[in-house]
Chain A
């Protein structure tokens, strides 16, 4: 056994006995971490699901190009060439105004509305264009829409742009919010954990002083407390994520059908794997920073003596 692993083993034993000696403060600290990670995780779940919803809606967005009534044959075939030349387009459907009117009337009737009979057809001819699923699908759509808009014979284009833009802005706000909450909770946790570690240090004061007097290195003294902080972060986040995972699978079983009806093909999301790792890693990092602060401060006090 080399001396590094031996130090680690000895430290680990000290850490465990420290935890046993201060079970209550340890548990309180772990619970605080768990609750904080829970809050962050909850926001993350909401965010991820909104994001998935946005993506799922985005994938259903299609471009409708309304044609002028007096569009010439040449203009129409120019338009069709333009559609064919774009590789992002999945399919294109021509809908003449009679068909559109029938469809419209049918949906009105089915939803229990009045049966419309205006005596004339107010709808123009149109093309309904579907795009292939891709990362920047909505960007492609809006770019292409602008291109089409300029063509002769085109009355107007429609693809719910404003609405998507607004939703996307809202998602950016969510990201900033999430980051803000994360930073605040992290700072709070650092304060709380460093306090528990400080208590742990003071309960071992006599032993620490002796260790240093008989030749222990500062890091030998510090490592058990650093480990304690890291453990708190690890256990706290695991408890929290485990609990959330259980609640998630319960909710998913209960509500997946109603989600299906809001957004077809969207699955109720849990925190995705990279975010799980980030949350656990972040908690451990917070534990490390917090215990580093306490041990550093304690050593400064000792050195001043």
Chain B
């Protein structure tokens, strides 16, 4: 489902952000991507959904050769994944409901189903009471959950999450982890990037450890 072969990514001068990275993730897996800050977790996710180029190696996602993908066709790749960005990327002038509905509108889902599916996604993350609020009025954990609802609303086969428990306390982090496990049980492949060691402790899922752009263990 997701494969990286000897990927090298260089942002410019200095040592590469990814140095000969090879990873294989099977369909339906739940994988933690971890390592200290600056290890290259975000870079891997960005490469997976075609936001960053890479210099060498090959990346396959659902049979799509990401490095060879024409800019005009990136949407085919991106529609197969829901992404939770480290900085959420919610639109501040749209309500919670509109933010989640937006992900369906831009991918041309059936207008009639949008309301229903948005409602359902908000219910899954427990945010229906806040549906008419604007993101700046929400707490960090709530914004995080809006981002999750938006990523899952199109039921993509792959979910990429970049530090989705970033600045949240332990209790909320565990809630959010449970949400991802739930999504995973429904069939989605999950790649969960985190620098937190707390969240890995239960040891239920595979862990890929990165350090300075190299895979240390997987």
Which chain B positions have C-beta within 8 A of A1? Answer: 111
B150 within 8 A of A: yes
Q: Are A215 and B78 in contact (CB under 8 A)?
A: yes
B83–A10 touching, CB < 8 Å: no
Residues in A whose Cβ lies below 8 Å from that of B79: 215
Known contacts: A1-B111, A220-B106, A303-B71. The answer to whether A213 contacts B91 by CB under 8 A is no
A27-69 CB contact bits vs B (8 Å, 1 = yes)?
0000000000000000000000000000000000000000000
Whole-angstrom distance between the alpha carbons of A206 and B71 in the complex? Answer: 19
B166 CB to nearest chain A CB (Å): 18
A210 and B89 alpha carbons, distance in the complex (Å): 7
Given the interface pairs A206-B91, A207-B91, the reply to whether A214 lies near B107 with Cβ below 8 Å is: yes
- Tell yes or no: B178 within 8 A of A by CB: no
Q: How many A-B residue pairs have CB under 8 A?
A: 47
Contact: A216 with B111, CB < 8 Å?
A: no
| Chain A neighbourhood of B78, CB < 8 A | 212-215
Q: CA of A220 to CA of B108 in the docked complex: distance in angstroms? A: 9
CB <8 Å contact, A214 and B108: no
B77 to chain A, nearest CB (A): 8
| Size of A's binding interface in residues, CB under 8 A | 19
Beyond contacts A6-B111, A216-B75, A217-B75: 20 other A-B pairs, Cβ-Cβ < 8 A, are A1-B111, A6-B108, A206-B91, A207-B91, A210-B89, A210-B91, A212-B78, A213-B49, A213-B78, A213-B85, A214-B102, A214-B106, A214-B150, A215-B75, A215-B103, A216-B107, A218-B72, A218-B75, A220-B106, A303-B71
Question: What is the interface of chain A, defined by CB distance below 8 A to chain B?
Answer: 1, 3, 6-7, 10, 206-207, 210-218, 220, 299, 303
Provide 21 A-B residue pairs closer than 8 Å at the C-beta atoms, listed in order of the A residue. Answer: A210-B89, A211-B102, A212-B75, A212-B78, A213-B49, A213-B51, A213-B85, A213-B89, A214-B78, A214-B83, A214-B107, A214-B150, A215-B79, A215-B107, A215-B154, A216-B75, A216-B107, A218-B71, A218-B72, A218-B75, A299-B71
